[in-house]
Amino acid sequence: MAFEPRYPIETKRLRLRPFNRGDVDAVFAYRKREDVARHLFDGPMTHQTATEVVGLRAGQFTLAAEGDKMFLAVDLADPHAMIGEVSLIWRDAVSRQGEIGYIFNPLHHGHGYATEATRVLLGLGFEDLGLHRIYARCAAANTASWHVMERLGMRREAHFREHAFFKGGWDEELVYAILEDEWRAMQPG
């Protein structure tokens, strides 16, 4: 049976919901930027690519089988604006492993929104999907990204030195993770 959270999911300042075709311009506004794409697999997007990606993501809000990807649009509640996206990938059903990711519009960096939105995914993954371990990967040079992971209580598990040639140079990759027990120990009450 597919795992489908009840949408929207509300936090103190944000709403997480499935993508819809009305998100194209907001997504293009940040995915066209070189500074946003620097550490992502994709390069800066054209409007056409952003349209295709949003069309694909509009159908990716449930997890039914290993390998499925959930992408959620993140709205700032006040003033209302679509400010970024978070993702949860069901990597392994037998070993109950998941991977999270996040991309936010630089106009809305520096307020803790990425941390607040991604924390929701840890709750969904452990509480609702029954995952045992959730990990995230980023370039070692992507300080803002691994700071999010550390704010979420994830541990640095690996630093892969020059493990791949990426965008014209050797890539350094960090892996962070958190186990279900560690996450439960952090919950209030």
Residues lying near ligand COA in the complex (CB under 6 A) = 36, 39-40, 102-104, 109-115, 138, 142, 144-145, 147-148
Residue 17 beta carbon to ligand COA: minimum distance, rounded to whole angstroms: 18
- Residue the block writes with tokens 């840890």: 122
Q: Is 102 exposed, middle or buried (0-12, 13-18, 19+ CB in 10 A)?
A: buried
Residue 64 beta carbon to ligand COA: minimum distance, rounded to whole angstroms: 25
- Residue the block writes with tokens 């649009």: 73
Q: Select 104 or 183, whichever has its Cβ closest to ligand COA.
A: 104
Which residue type does 159 have? H
Residue 23 beta carbon to ligand COA: minimum distance, rounded to whole angstroms: 16
Q: Select 109 or 132, whichever has its Cβ closest to ligand COA.
A: 109
What pairs with residue 9 in β-bridges? Answer: 16
Residue 167 beta carbon to ligand COA: minimum distance, rounded to whole angstroms: 13
Q: Select 147 or 161, whichever has its Cβ closest to ligand COA.
A: 147
Q: Which residues contact 126 (CB under 8 A, 6 or more apart)?
A: 134, 180, 183, 184
Between CA 142 and CA 102 the distance in angstroms is 12
Residue 113 beta carbon to ligand COA: minimum distance, rounded to whole angstroms: 4
Q: Which residues contact 104 (CB under 8 A, 6 or more apart)?
A: 30, 74, 83, 84, 85, 113, 114
Between CA 59 and CA 11 the distance in angstroms is 23
Q: What tokens were used for 80?
A: 């209302």
Q: Select 3 or 115, whichever has its Cβ closest to ligand COA.
A: 115
Q: Select 103 or 178, whichever has its Cβ closest to ligand COA.
A: 103
